[in-house]
Amino acid sequence: MSEVIVVAEQREGKFRDVTFELISKAKELSKSSGFKITGVILGYGTNELAQELSLYGLDEVVSIEHEILKNYSCEGYVKALSSFLREREPVLTMIGHTVYGLDYAPALAAELNFPLVTDCINLSMENRKLKVTRQMYSGKINVEFSFPRAEKYMVTVRPTVFKPAEKTGKKSRVVKVKAEIPVKELKTKFIELIKPSAEEVDISQADVIVSVGRGIGDKDNLPIVESLAEAIGAALGASRPVVDNGWLPKSRQVGQSGKTVKPKVYLAVGISGAMQHVMGMKGSETVIAINKDPNAPIFDVSDYGVVANLFDIVPTLTETIKKIRGT
Amino acid sequence: MDVVVCVKSVPLSEQEIVINEEETGVVKENFKYEMNEWDSYALEEAVQLKEKLGGKVTVVTAGAPNWNLDFVLRECYAKGADEAVKVVDEAFEQLDPLTTAKVLAEVIKKLNYDLVLTGVQASDDNYTQTGVTLAKLLGLPHVSVVTKVGVSQDQKFLTVNQELEGGYEQIIQVSLPALLTIQTGINQPRYASLMKIRAAMKKEIKTLKLEDLGFTRDKLLGMVPVKVERVFTPKVEKAVKFLKGSPEEIAQQIVEILKDKGLIG
Ligand SMILES: Cc1cc2nc3c(=O)[nH]c(=O)nc-3n(C[C@H](O)[C@H](O)[C@H](O)COP(=O)(O)OP(=O)(O)OC[C@H]3O[C@@H](n4cnc5c(N)ncnc54)[C@H](O)[C@@H]3O)c2cc1C
């Protein structure tokens, strides 16, 4: 029977959400094609995790262990997974499009000569022929690809797109494999995992966030949005370029590599809506976006949109609110 | 330390994207091009390493004839690159990251280097794949999404920070030669002075054709493992309501929304 392999992702002994999202999509694909679904965990001393994974309705869980896999190691992952996948020859290998995923999947695919498409937001399979959809131009268009010559495929899948699988109550069998990794030959070495520091501002707790993007143009223009945030009583957030430029501290950054926020209202000012930003704010109750580009992808995740120059709208909005508040 | 930096010429981010009639791609006629944002950080990192440790910075680009490659490479010269190489062919409009990496690998194999840098991703196709694939093809260890680079005393290895999600980072040691994919914010890319821009106009750009690297256009296109089936506009997750009117009227409507949510009195 053909097999779909889902590579689980874990950090510090906990699965990351994308693992369960991959499983649910794999199950959907298998419903029509009758594939066997195998979940793979890489790590060391991961018995408990393997048991946990076995509750999600997979056909098999394989726990690949090695001391070097205790922490994420790209070389270790590529060595361990390539020999495992060579043996299994799955029709499809699914990996999360996370930093780990984007770090090892391209190397693994090249090693195995599997075609890889990254950051997929949809997959469909008919007669063992895979089609995938991914975005380009930072979310402005979707592109559907087929693989004319391939019979085995590898994909990385964008997190937060698919609904996570639930525990089924049925337990699948768990197989433990000791990975063969020539440790002496490795050219990289894990030194340390640095955890996010407890910062003075925590925007993730705010009810309202006014978030500023590159559209603000210059550090000198920041007071325009700061005044708005102050008038509303909102926390000030930012997209990555604003932080990269040193205009606001990292603690303000919303998105994949910053904070995940779920305020009642998220007001995005001059933010295009790249997926790495959207990932951190799409759980907001109401999103209002101000952007001069009517095609900006931020409008795809907004409840209310204003297509305008932010410098025309924001100061007027601030004044209006100040008047109401009598300040 | 000799560093090779791969840079890509990409359409301006504010470029309007229009899907062609056949729904097989986008209309590129009016595109203007610039250096990929991530690559400008990779270039700056390379130039800073050179300034600290000596050596040479070579930039390599591959692209179609109308991608403004010379403009991008001259910007690299003006910002401190020592040599620039371009591979030019129409085929690059249609290549996937694996095939592009194969071309870049052929160029880089012939250069002297201790370190290869690329950006984490290109802002047009967002694959985050070319750099890591290139490392694999060159037989180099790699670290991606790098936000800090330290060089050991003996210049035999690097200690780098790899950015993970949600504020996590991981410190990794990697022996040289190696490849890093560079993340934005790692440094503050410099502005080029007018004098340097002028000087850059006179510098030589080495031009390679696919044939110089043992490829042909047909062969390359035949190596692409994927085929575009359809290009379409993303489905919206929420039905957005556009607020219209004068700035005052729009402000009033936003106020109503905030009131509705009980956020202002
Ligand atoms: C691994 C990785 C992790 C990342 N993590 C994050 C993250 O955590 N958070 C994050 O935000 N990004 C992250 N990014 C970066 C992300 O890909 C985008 O580059 C970034 O989000 C873009 O920020 P922006 O929308 O502010 O800028 P741009 O994309 O440049 O958008 C600016 C917008 O402002 C609009 N605009 C310009 N002028 C005006 C005006 N006068 N009035 C109104 N609108 C105007 C433009 O139309 C445009 O839509 C990450 C990228 C990678 C590769």
In a domain, A124, yes or no: yes
* pTM score of the predicted model: 0.96
Same domain for A15 and A129, yes or no, is yes
User: Would the CB of A259 count as within 6 Å of ligand 1?
Assistant: no
Is residue A198 one of the residues assigned to a domain? Answer: no
Tally of structural domains, chain A: 2
Among residues A130, A159, A185, the one where a domain terminates is A185
Q: So what's the pLDDT on residue A211? A: 98
CA quadruple A92, A96, A98, A103: dihedral, nearest 10: -30
Residue B194 sits at the chain A interface (C-beta within 8 Å): no
Q: What is the CATH number of the domain that holds A307?
A: 3.40.50.1220
The Cα A285–Cα A264 span in angstroms is: 5
Residue A41, pLDDT > 70, answer yes
The string of pLDDT tens digits covering residues A132-162 is: 999 999 999 999 999 999 999 999 999 999 9
The answer to whether residue A191 sits within a structural domain is no
Rounded CA gap, B263 and B260, in Å? 8
Angstrom distance (rounded) from CA A297 to CA A275: 9
Do residues A219 and A298 share a domain? yes
**Residue numbers of the domain that contains A237:** 203-325
In a domain, A97, yes or no: yes
Tell me, what's the pLDDT at A216? 98
**Pair (A46, A145) in one structural domain:** yes
Instruction: Examine residue A190 and state whether it is found in any structural domain, yes or no.
Output: no
Would you list the DSSP string of chain B?
--EEEE--EEE-TT----B-TTSSSB--TT--EEE-HHHHHHHHHHHHHHHHH---EEEEEEE-TTS-HHHHHHHHHHTT-SEEEEEE-GGGGS--HHHHHHHHHHHHHTS--SEEEEES--TTT----HHHHHHHHHT--EEEEEEEEEE-TTSSEEEEEEE-GGG-EEEEEEESSEEEEEPTTSS-PPPPPHHHHHHHHTS--EEE-GGGGT--HHHHHHH---EEEEEEPPPPSS--EE--S-HHHHHHHHHHHHHHTTS--
Determine, yes or no, domain membership for A195.
no
Bridge partners (DSSP) of residue A235 are: A209
pLDDT band at A312 (very low <50, low <70, confident <90, very high): very high
pLDDT grade, residue A169 (50/70/90)? confident
- Who contacts B106 (Cβ-Cβ below 8 Å, separation ≥6)? B213, B214, B215
Task: Give yes or no: residues A218 and A308 share one domain.
Answer: yes
A239 alpha carbon – ligand 1 mean position (Å)? 6
Last residue of a domain, one of A185, A212, A237: A185
pLDDT of A291 strictly over 90: yes
Choosing from A185, A214, A231, the residue where a domain stops is: A185
Q: What is the mean pLDDT of residues B207-233?
A: 97
pLDDT for position B214: 97
Tens-place pLDDT, residues B81-121: 999 999 999 999 999 999 999 999 999 999 999 999 999 99
Query: What was the pLDDT predicted at A1?
Result: 66
Instruction: Look at residue A185 in the predicted model and tell me its pLDDT.
Output: 96
Q: DSSP class of residue A148?
A: S
Complex ipTM, two decimals?
Answer: 0.96
Q: What is the CATH number of the domain that holds A29?
A: 3.40.50.620
Domain ranges of chain B: 3-223
Does A178 share its domain with A224?
no
Residues A160 and A89 grouped into a single domain: yes
In residues, how long is chain A? 327
- Chain centroid to CA A101: 10
Question: Does a structural domain hold residue A197?
Answer: no
d(CA B194, CA B176): 35
Closest CA–CA distance from residue A106 to any residue of chain B (Å): 5
What is the average pLDDT value for chain A, to the nearest integer?
96
pLDDT digits (tens, 9 = 90+) for B27-42: 999 999 999 999 999 9
Report whether residue A239 contacts ligand 1, using a CB cutoff of 6 Å: yes
Q: Which of A240, A269, A307, A313 to mutate to test the pocket of ligand 1 (most atoms within 8 A of CB)?
A: A240
Contacts of A142 (CB under 8 A, 6+ apart): A121, A133, A134, A135, B231, B232, B233, B234, B235
* Residue A248 forms contact with B (CB below 8 Å): no
Q: Is there a single domain that holds both residue A211 and residue A283?
A: yes
Report domain B3-223's class. Answer: alpha beta
